[in-house]
């Protein structure tokens, strides 16, 4: 195999993982092109929880200051009964150093704004409304020295490496591994709605209902979001004009603050509904000089709040490895060694948490599962 540094990279997909990787590779002086399928480059609403390991990863990526300013830093996680009684408190870990918070709640739009601005300012060449049509790399052993790419607008380019960061329904995954598994519906869905933030929601608060979990996560000084998991057998199509009544129905078992918020869900357009789909690609996640990251290879449920975290960590590891002077296959093997088991643990544990909910299990240690996840993700990437 030919050794040689990676100088010119194409990233397919300008979501959370692709944008973090673009910034990090530009910081290291690599040439980066990024194509994003959407013409209007935006993200659907509501928020995202970024836990201790993600705060540390953002520090590694050099994005911390603008990132913290765009969200709501918080320390611990509170676990409550459906009526609001406190059950347990899990303290935060300041993994990025004592000067930084343990966790951050941030709106998806604010996160996208921070990441896209950083990638563009650092010199990523972004093309919107564009994807890849063909990837040619000879015998795919990585020895041909490059990937010839044909784009959907008819242009072509040659790259040392192509990164598929194009999410759950990744086109790059399909081009690379036509035999790859496809996303699987787990049986549950998540409902979300933004609200003004009351002072008491200065931490992530989760509420155990009989059929699923609700939670409140601060996103900014003024904003928080409410999420709810529910079992939805058969993955029914939810009528868009009924989302408010359907979400309210599913929140009936909750009292306290969540119960009071339920009555304020009156506009179906403010409800974001998403069936949960998972995917865990077997190793390797690369073929020759094309590699995958994020949801394209390890899409998880939101139960442990780590999906984006794993995509961001993938970017941290790839950015550390790619400038190294070694054969491309060796670099990508090291990527697999550092990422595969950690991501598999998150996907498996998140699926397990959902299965416990669907089986209405009372005999399980949910707090223990969260603590184990925090221990595992606190380890260096």
Please tell me whether residue 357 adopts helix, strand or coil conformation: helix
Give the shortest CB-22-to-ligand FAD separation in angstroms. Answer: 11
Q: Report how far residue 37's alpha carbon sits from residue 13's, in angstroms, rounded to the nearest whole number.
A: 7
User: Which residue, 175 or 326, is less far from ligand FAD as judged by CB?
Assistant: 175
Name the segment binding ligand FAD (CB under 6 A); options: 66-74, 119-127, 245-253, 303-311: 303-311
Task: Give the one residue of 70, 311, 322, 343 binding ligand FAD; rule: CB under 6 A.
Answer: 311
User: Which residue, 48 or 119, is less far from ligand FAD as judged by CB?
Assistant: 48
Task: Give the one residue of 131, 143, 144, 235 binding ligand FAD; rule: CB under 6 A.
Answer: 131
Q: Are the beta carbons of 23 and 63 closer than 8 angstroms? A: yes
Q: Are the beta carbons of 315 and 292 closer than 8 angstroms? A: no
User: Which residue, 51 or 137, is less far from ligand FAD as judged by CB?
Assistant: 51
Q: Which tokens is 32 given?
A: 């980066």
Angle (nearest 5°) at CA 16 between 89 and 70: 60
| Residue 299 bridge partners (DSSP) | 279
User: Which residue, 124 or 306, is less far from ligand FAD as judged by CB?
Assistant: 306
Q: Are the beta carbons of 115 and 125 closer than 8 angstroms? A: no
User: Which residue, 261 or 312, is less far from ligand FAD as judged by CB?
Assistant: 312
| Cβ within 8 Å of residue 250, ≥6 positions away | 191, 211, 212, 228, 230
Give the shortest CB-4-to-ligand FAD separation in angstroms. Answer: 26
Q: Report how far residue 310's alpha carbon sits from residue 170's, in angstroms, rounded to the nearest whole number.
A: 16
Give the shortest CB-311-to-ligand FAD separation in angstroms. Answer: 4
User: Which residue, 16 or 328, is less far from ligand FAD as judged by CB?
Assistant: 16
Give the shortest CB-96-to-ligand FAD separation in angstroms. Answer: 16
Instruction: Name the residue number minimizing CB distance to ligand FAD.
Output: 15
Q: Report how far residue 271's alpha carbon sits from residue 267's, in angstroms, rounded to the nearest whole number.
A: 7
Residues in region 260-279 near ligand FAD by CB under 6 A: 274
Give the shortest CB-327-to-ligand FAD separation in angstroms. Answer: 26
Give the shortest CB-232-to-ligand FAD separation in angstroms. Answer: 13
- Give the distance from CA 170 to its chain's centroid: 14
Name the segment binding ligand FAD (CB under 6 A); options: 8-16, 133-141, 253-261, 346-354: 8-16
Residue 305 in the binding site for ligand FAD (CB under 6 A): yes
Quick note: the x/- pattern for ligand FAD over 154-183, rule CB under 6 A, is -----------xxx---x------------
| Full DSSP string of 70-108 | TSEEE--EEEEETTS-EEEEE----TT-TTS-SEEEEEH
Of the candidates 342, 228, 226, 346, the one whose C-alpha atom is nearest the C-alpha of residue 278 is 346
Quick note: the x/- pattern for ligand FAD over 10-49, rule CB under 6 A, is --xxxxxxx----------------xxxx---------xx
Please tell me whether residue 224 adopts helix, strand or coil conformation: strand
Residue 209 in the binding site for ligand FAD (CB under 6 A): no
Give the shortest CB-41-to-ligand FAD separation in angstroms. Answer: 7
Largest Cα–Cα separation, the chain = 64
Q: Are the beta carbons of 157 and 34 closer than 8 angstroms? A: no
User: Which residue, 288 or 307, is less far from ligand FAD as judged by CB?
Assistant: 307
H or E stretch including 259? helix 256-262
Q: Are the beta carbons of 16 and 299 closer than 8 angstroms? A: no
Number of residues located near ligand FAD, criterion CB under 6 A: 30
Q: Report how far residue 63's alpha carbon sits from residue 43's, in angstroms, rounded to the nearest whole number.
A: 19
User: Which residue, 107 or 326, is less far from ligand FAD as judged by CB?
Assistant: 107
Give the shortest CB-219-to-ligand FAD separation in angstroms. Answer: 11
| Full DSSP string of 260-283 | HHHTT---GGG-EEEEEEEEEPPS
User: Which residue, 273 or 356, is less far from ligand FAD as judged by CB?
Assistant: 273
Residues in region 282-301 near ligand FAD by CB under 6 A: 294-296
Residues forming contacts to ligand FAD in the complex (CB under 6 A) are 12-18, 35-38, 48-49, 131, 165-167, 171, 190, 274, 294-296, 302, 305-309, 311
């Amino acid at each position: 195999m030919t050794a040689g540094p990676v100088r010119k990279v194409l990233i397919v997909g300008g979501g959370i993982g692709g944008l973090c990787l673009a910034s990090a590779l530009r910081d290291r002086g690599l040439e980066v092109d990024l194509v994003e399928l959407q013409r209007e480059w935006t993200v659907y609403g509501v928020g995202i929880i970024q836990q201790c390991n993600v705060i540390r990863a953002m520090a590694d990526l050099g994005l911390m200051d603008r990132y913290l300013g765009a969200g709501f830093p918080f320390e611990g996680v509170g676990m409550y009964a459906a009526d609001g009684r406190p059950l347990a408190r899990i303290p935060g870990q300041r993994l990025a150093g004592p000067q930084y918070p343990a966790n951050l709640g941030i709106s998806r739009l604010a996160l996208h704004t921070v990441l896209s601005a950083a990638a563009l300012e650092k010199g990523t060449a972004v093309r919107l409304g564009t994807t890849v049509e063909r990837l040619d790399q000879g015998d795919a052993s990585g020895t041909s020295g490059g990937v010839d790419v044909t784009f959907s607008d008819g242009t072509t380019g040659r790259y040392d490496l192509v990164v598929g960061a194009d999410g759950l329904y990744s086109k790059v995954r399909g081009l690379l591994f036509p035999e790859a598994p496809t996303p699987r519906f787990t049986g549950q869905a998540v409902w979300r709605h933004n609200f003004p933030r009351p002072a008491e929601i200065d931490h992530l608060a989760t509420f155990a209902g009989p059929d699923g979990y609700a939670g409140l996560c601060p996103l900014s000084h003024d904003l928080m979001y409410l999420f709810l998991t529910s079992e939805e057998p058969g993955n029914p199509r939810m009528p868009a004009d009924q989302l408010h009544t359907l979400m309210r129905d599913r929140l009936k078992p909750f009292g306290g603050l969540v119960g009071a918020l339920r009555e304020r869900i009156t506009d179906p357009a403010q409800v974001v509904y998403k069936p949960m789909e998972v995917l865990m690609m077997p190793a390797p996640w690369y073929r020759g000089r094309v590699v995958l990251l994020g949801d394209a290879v390890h899409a998880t449920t939101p139960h442990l709040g780590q999906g984006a975290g794993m995509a961001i960590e993938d970017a941290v590891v790839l950015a550390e490895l790619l400038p190294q002077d070694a054969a491309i296959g060796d670099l990508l093997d090291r990527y697999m060694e550092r990422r595969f088991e950690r991501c598999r643990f998150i996907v498996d544990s998140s699926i397990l948490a959902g299965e416990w909910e669907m089986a209405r299990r009372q005999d399980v240690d949910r707090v223990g599962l969260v603590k184990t996840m925090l221990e595992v993700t606190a380890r260096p990437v």
